[in-house]
Chains A and B, each alone.
Chain A
Amino acid sequence: MVLPVVGLLVRSDLTRFPSLITSTSSLNALKLSLLTAGLSTVACVLLGVPLAVVLARSGARGVRVLRAVVLLPLVLPPVVGGLALLYLLGRKGFLGILVTTLTGEQVPFTTAAVVIAQTFVAMPFLVVSLEGALRGAGDRYERVASTLGAKPWTVFRRVTLPLLLPALGSGIVLSFARALGEFGATITFAGSLEGVTRTLPLEVYTQAEVDVDSAVALALLLILVAVAVIALARPRALEGVRS
């Protein structure tokens, strides 16, 4: 796991590192990456938590199908995901036409499209980690809480959610990291417009064709950001409940 990173380090020109990563295009890409990855993580939490609860707790027939659908982006090549999004939300896609008639806006090739693409590929990570935790904990505490007179919403708020915090923490880290590294779905669905849709991975790819040193420097920057995210979030995610 470490060797490829060592390879990058060996190849990189550390003296030019500061100037390379502070170029306007790099900074734009960094800012855009952090913004979109942050937004898509929020979207993952908002959509993923209820979804995980349904998947873990519901005994309905459709749940197995729903789980397969939710986990699809995990096994789908991101490029295919991006293509699918394009034909759903693009100019000729049926949802795309709806959005355009309602708002006059087009979804593809905008920052919003980046967030959608990242959410699409990152959400399964959050759902999987939460569903596992929910199943592992079982519903014993919820049952006790309900016999103590707590209504379902109180049970969710005061028992289910607090017990879920550690898993939620690690799910957030995982989905943020996945969103940060998203490439295939983004470039297919959102393109590579500097400052609008060109996130760090896309910038690395673009630079690799013109200035390899710069691409390597950006790649290192991406690694730094990823390591920082894990270092900052990991202890909280692990301690979660006990903090």
Chain B
Amino acid sequence: MTLSAEIALRRGEFTLDVGFEVPDGGVLALLGPNGSGKSSVLGCLAGLLRPDRARITLGGRGLAGLPPHARGIGLLSQDALLFPHLSALDNVAFAPRSTGAGRAEAKRRAREWLTEVDALELADRRPAQLSGGQAQRVAIARALAAEPGLLLLDEPFAALDVDAAPAIRGLLRRVLRSGPPTVLVTHDPLDALALADHVAVLDGGRIVERGVTRKVLSAPRTAFTARIAGLNLVPGVAAEGGLRTSGGLLAGIPAEDVVEGEAAVAVFAPSAVAVYLRDGEHRGSPRNTVEGIVDALEPHGPVIRVRARGDGWAAGLAADLTPAAVAELALEPGTPVNLSVKAASVAVHAVSDH
């Protein structure tokens, strides 16, 4: 089933006007700051908000005029919002029960889904007895137990503490692999990187940029995207102490959900990259240094973003330098340089393998 949506909404000064498609099994991240309209898009898809004009089809079935309960969608928000008067098991059984399954059948399915999210041992607990991460696990099981044709994720990690988030991220990545089309709303480019194959960047109610997640995040075409998401992303395979890339090992700090030998990406800010002249005195730390050639210089607010080309992970690398540093090094397109980044500034994240 493919989701196809065109939504227009006006609330006072704010105008939302977006259109997008998500294929079956695909995950689209709507990336944007607060107030960009991403939650309104989700509300319209879920039927909780009434858009002025909407054409939403899921596998050819029109959703726009239907009430929320008839849409067959799953919604996961930043708060788990488990029903406090029901046990974890009954929470998960709620959807099957509501859609006509018998009591025993609903509980059987609920147990299956709790097993799927590794939370079967929590079945008899009340939501008040669950930690944030456990509650979110149960909430994922509850959303999936409805067997939705479309899954909506609204900042699903925002309310989790840093220890719980990687495990939930890993869990979602696993269940989304075989899941329905999914729309993820987030302000964190790392969430998009971890879960989404495509990303659409929202600014003031409009999509300003869209494309394959890694491309959009690493080579933003608009200044807006660059500001919220301009990151160096180096793909590779997770290895001990970092990431194995086509240009050798890039040392970094692996996130908790990274598995050695699986696809991963090294993430670091352009401001963490140091640039040295190839024939200069400073050669930087021998680790995490790569040879490149200055490709372009772009003013970027108070700094100048240096784009490099070269082999290995130097390709497309961005480094932010002060205008003074650029002048001192006499950088211009074609200058051969060494690029270096501290291992402590490099985070290695697991990525969706769509």
B window 82-99: CB within 8 A of A: 83-86, 94-95, 97-99
Asked if B81 is at the interface of the complex by the 8 Å CB criterion, the answer is yes
Other-chain contact of A148, B79, B84, B142 (Cβ < 8 Å) = B142
For A, the interface residue count at a CB cutoff of 8 angstroms equals 21
A window 166-212: CB within 8 A of B: none
Q: A144-B75, A146-B68 are in contact. Are A151 and B98 (CB under 8 A)?
A: yes
Q: Is A140's CB under 8 angstroms from B81's CB? A: yes
For the complex formed, measure the closest distance between the CB of B11 and the CB atoms of chain A, giving whole angstroms.
Answer: 15
A window 153-171: CB within 8 A of B: 154-155, 158-159, 162-163, 165
For the complex formed, measure the closest distance between the CB of A199 and the CB atoms of chain B, giving whole angstroms.
Answer: 37
Other-chain contact of A144, B70, B81, B85 (Cβ < 8 Å) = B81
Other-chain contact of A147, B69, B84, B85, B97 (Cβ < 8 Å) = B69
Other-chain contact of B84, A150, A154, A158, A241 (Cβ < 8 Å) = A241
Asked if A64 is at the interface of the complex by the 8 Å CB criterion, the answer is no
Q: Is A151's CB under 8 angstroms from B84's CB? A: no
Q: Is A145's CB under 8 angstroms from B98's CB? A: yes
Asked if A31 is at the interface of the complex by the 8 Å CB criterion, the answer is no
Q: Is A150's CB under 8 angstroms from B98's CB? A: yes
Asked if A11 is at the interface of the complex by the 8 Å CB criterion, the answer is no
For the complex formed, measure the closest distance between the CB of B164 and the CB atoms of chain A, giving whole angstroms.
Answer: 20
Asked if A149 is at the interface of the complex by the 8 Å CB criterion, the answer is yes
Q: Is A146's CB under 8 angstroms from B85's CB? A: no
Main secondary structure, interface of A, reads helix
* Residue among B75, B84, B85 with max Cβ neighbours from chain A (10 Å): B85
Q: Is B85's CB under 8 angstroms from A162's CB? A: yes
Q: A143-B68, A154-B98, A158-B94 are in contact. Are A148 and B81 (CB under 8 A)?
A: no
Other-chain contact of B94, A140, A145, A242 (Cβ < 8 Å) = A145
A window 112-145: CB within 8 A of B: 140-141, 143-145
A-B contact count (CB 8 A): 68
For the complex formed, measure the closest distance between the CB of B77 and the CB atoms of chain A, giving whole angstroms.
Answer: 8
The CA-CA distance from A57 to B119 in the complex, in Å, is 35
Q: Is B83's CB under 8 angstroms from A147's CB? A: no
* Residues on B with beta carbons closer than 8 Å to the beta carbon of A143: 46, 48, 68, 75
Closest chain A residue, CB of each to CB of B152: A147
For the complex formed, measure the closest distance between the CB of B89 and the CB atoms of chain A, giving whole angstroms.
Answer: 15
* Residues on A with beta carbons closer than 8 Å to the beta carbon of B126: 242
Closest chain A residue, CB of each to CB of B142: A148
The CA-CA distance from A143 to B77 in the complex, in Å, is 11
Closest chain B residue, CB of each to CB of A139: B48
For B, the interface residue count at a CB cutoff of 8 angstroms equals 28
Closest chain A residue, CB of each to CB of B67: A146
Other-chain contact of B72, A149, A158, A242 (Cβ < 8 Å) = A149
For the complex formed, measure the closest distance between the CB of B70 and the CB atoms of chain A, giving whole angstroms.
Answer: 8
The CA-CA distance from A147 to B76 in the complex, in Å, is 10
The CA-CA distance from A232 to B126 in the complex, in Å, is 26
Q: Is A147's CB under 8 angstroms from B73's CB? A: yes
Q: Is A145's CB under 8 angstroms from B83's CB? A: yes
B window 130-169: CB within 8 A of A: 142-143, 146
* Residues on A with beta carbons closer than 8 Å to the beta carbon of B69: 146-152, 155
Q: Is A149's CB under 8 angstroms from B99's CB? A: yes
Asked if B179 is at the interface of the complex by the 8 Å CB criterion, the answer is no
The CA-CA distance from A183 to B265 in the complex, in Å, is 77
The CA-CA distance from A241 to B128 in the complex, in Å, is 12
Closest chain B residue, CB of each to CB of A144: B81
Q: Mark A204-222, 1 if CB is under 8 A from B, else 0.
A: 0000000000000000000
Q: Is B75's CB under 8 angstroms from A141's CB? A: no
The CA-CA distance from A165 to B46 in the complex, in Å, is 28
The CA-CA distance from A152 to B97 in the complex, in Å, is 14
For the complex formed, measure the closest distance between the CB of A146 and the CB atoms of chain B, giving whole angstroms.
Answer: 4
Asked if B74 is at the interface of the complex by the 8 Å CB criterion, the answer is yes
The CA-CA distance from A154 to B70 in the complex, in Å, is 13
The CA-CA distance from A162 to B126 in the complex, in Å, is 14
Q: A154-B98, A158-B94 are in contact. Are A147 and B75 (CB under 8 A)?
A: yes
The CA-CA distance from A146 to B97 in the complex, in Å, is 13
For the complex formed, measure the closest distance between the CB of A236 and the CB atoms of chain B, giving whole angstroms.
Answer: 14
* Residues on A with beta carbons closer than 8 Å to the beta carbon of B86: 162
The CA-CA distance from A146 to B68 in the complex, in Å, is 6
For the complex formed, measure the closest distance between the CB of A210 and the CB atoms of chain B, giving whole angstroms.
Answer: 53
The CA-CA distance from A196 to B46 in the complex, in Å, is 57
Q: Is A163's CB under 8 angstroms from B68's CB? A: no
* Residue among A147, A155, A158, A163 with max Cβ neighbours from chain B (10 Å): A147
Q: Mark B170-207, 1 if CB is under 8 A from A, else 0.
A: 00000000000000000000000000000000000000
Which chain B residues have a beta carbon within 8 Å of chain A's beta carbons?
Answer: 46-48, 67-75, 77, 79, 81, 83-86, 94-95, 97-99, 126, 142-143, 146
The 6 closest A-B pairs by CB, nearest first: A150-B98, A146-B68, A148-B95, A147-B75, A162-B85, A149-B99
What are 15 contact pairs spanning A and B, CB under 8 A?
A140-B79, A141-B81, A143-B46, A143-B48, A144-B83, A146-B67, A147-B71, A147-B146, A148-B94, A148-B98, A148-B142, A149-B146, A151-B69, A158-B94, A163-B84
